[in-house]
């Protein structure tokens, strides 16, 4: 029996590369387009990311625990529900701004060149009750960029539960196609807490936000498919035929055929449907890369 070779996919036109975030293209961050690929129905639908909740069924009987925020004083916070990125946060004006933002309820992403001094500031604002984001990522985890607070709260209201894991996302490209092809960047650090592992194990369906989340959860899973609290480096490569023990679906950006991310999609989609989705995305003028549109695989 001779198998048919995979047909080469057309190269991505330059005009479909998104160079600006949605907000600088006249859209809300959650206003990007969404392609929905349904494996069971072998169908492709077109929507907007703001409509994500309509494609996720409610997980019956799965209730999220109430969040406990220790250390916050009573009373409304003017910056509650916002995230502030403070550069130069280890001293001077940056340190003062970090503390001021923390007192007003903002979650913080602190950036500085001096790690010991930055750790001291992080401990100080954590003592004020601030949610200080973990340091270490080299790039934005782009699949989650389009989530707005409004959309997250809407998903929660409709019973969609969220589990957070830590990703120190590695570089997706060295900006040289030849070097990228010869030296793929597979190693990335992740952390799954006991609470996150429990939430994933209880979920009737797990949708990963980004290819790195897929690799992290599948690395943290045992042979029985149960996720354990784990932290460390994942070197897992997923491709056609790779078993998926944990993740049932994927929210991802659009990737070019030569990228390792595209190989990972083959663990979810058989080649005919993957090729069809790729060609349809090009025809419909979806935008690629970190600031582009999104694809939901169910």
pLDDT values of the chain reduced to their tens digit, one per residue, 298 residues? 334 445 678 888 889 999 898 989 999 999 999 999 999 999 999 999 999 999 986 553 222 222 333 333 445 567 777 778 887 888 888 889 988 988 888 888 887 766 678 788 888 888 887 766 656 665 666 888 898 889 988 888 888 888 888 887 655 555 555 655 554 556 788 889 999 999 999 999 999 999 989 999 999 999 999 999 999 888 899 999 999 999 999 999 998 887 778 899 999 999 999 999 999 999 999 999 889 999 999 9
Beta partners for residue 132, in sequence order: 108
pLDDT of 68: 32
CA-to-CA separations, 28 to 25, 31, 33, in angstroms, rounded: 9, 5, 11
Helix pair angle (115-127, 92-103), 10° resolution: 20
Note whether residue 198 is domain-resident: yes
Report how far residue 221's alpha carbon sits from residue 36's, in angstroms, rounded to the nearest whole number.
27
Report the domain count for the chain.
2
Residue 272: which domain range?
A: 24-55+139-297
Neighbours of 110 (CB within 10 A): 26
Inter-residue contact 183 to 147 (CB < 8 Å): no
pLDDT of 113: 64
pLDDT of 40: 94
pLDDT of 76: 57
Of 9, 59, 54, 6, residue with least CA distance to 34: 54
224 and 282: one domain? yes
Query: Of 127, 156, 189, which residue sits at a domain end?
Result: 127
140's CB contacts (< 8 A; 6+ apart) are 169, 290
143 and 106: one domain? no
Beta partners for residue 231, in sequence order: 191
CA-to-CA separations, 243 to 155, 163, 202, 267, in angstroms, rounded: 29, 22, 20, 7
Residue 121: half-sphere exposure toward Cβ, Cα within 13 Å: 30
pLDDT of 122: 85
pLDDT of 182: 57
Residue 120 tokens, joined: 């001291």
31 and 167: one domain? yes
pLDDT of 5: 47
Query: Of 127, 160, 185, which residue sits at a domain end?
Result: 127
96 and 185: one domain? no
Domain containing residue 194: CATH number? 3.40.1780.10
Inter-residue contact 59 to 203 (CB < 8 Å): yes
pLDDT of 241: 94
Q: How far is CA 88 from the centre of its chain?
A: 26
212 and 283: one domain? yes
Residue 277 tokens, joined: 């989705």
pLDDT of 6: 55
Residue 62 tokens, joined: 């799965």
pLDDT of 88: 81
266 and 148: one domain? yes
């Amino acid at each position: 029996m001779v198998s048919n070779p995979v047909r080469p996919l057309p190269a991505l036109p330059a005009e479909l590369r998104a160079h600006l975030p949605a907000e600088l293209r006249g859209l809300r961050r959650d206003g990007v387009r969404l392609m929905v690929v349904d494996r069971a129905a072998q169908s492709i639908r077109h929507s907007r990311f703001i409509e994500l909740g309509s494609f996720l069924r409610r997980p019956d009987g799965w209730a999220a625990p109430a969040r406990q925020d220790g250390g916050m004083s009573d009373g409304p916070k003017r910056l509650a529900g916002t995230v502030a990125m403070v550069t130069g946060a280890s001293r001077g004006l940056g340190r003062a701004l970090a503390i001021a933002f923390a007192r007003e309820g903002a979650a913080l992403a602190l950036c500085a060149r001096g790690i010991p001094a930055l750790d001291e500031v992080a401990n100080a604002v954590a003592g004020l009750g601030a949610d200080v984001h973990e340091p270490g990522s080299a790039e934005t985890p782009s699949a989650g960029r389009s989530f707005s607070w409004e959309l997250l709260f809407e998903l929660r209201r409709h019973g969609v539960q969220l589990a957070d894991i830590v990703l120190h996302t590695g570089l997706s490209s060295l900006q040289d196609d030849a070097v990228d092809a010869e030296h793929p960047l597979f190693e990335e650090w992740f952390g799954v807490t006991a609470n996150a592992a429990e939430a994933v194990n209880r979920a009737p369906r797990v949708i990963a936000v980004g290819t790195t989340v897929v690799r992290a959860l599948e690395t943290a899973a045992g042979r029985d498919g149960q996720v354990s609290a784990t932290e460390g480096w994942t070197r897992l490569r997923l491709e056609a035929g790779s078993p998926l023990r944990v993740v049932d679906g994927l929210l991802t950006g659009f990737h070019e055929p030569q990228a390792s991310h595209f190989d990972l999609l083959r663990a979810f989609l058989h080649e005919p449907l993957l090729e069809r989705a790729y060609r349809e995305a090009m025809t419909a003028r979806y935008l690629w890369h970190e600031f582009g549109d999104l694809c939901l695989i169910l």
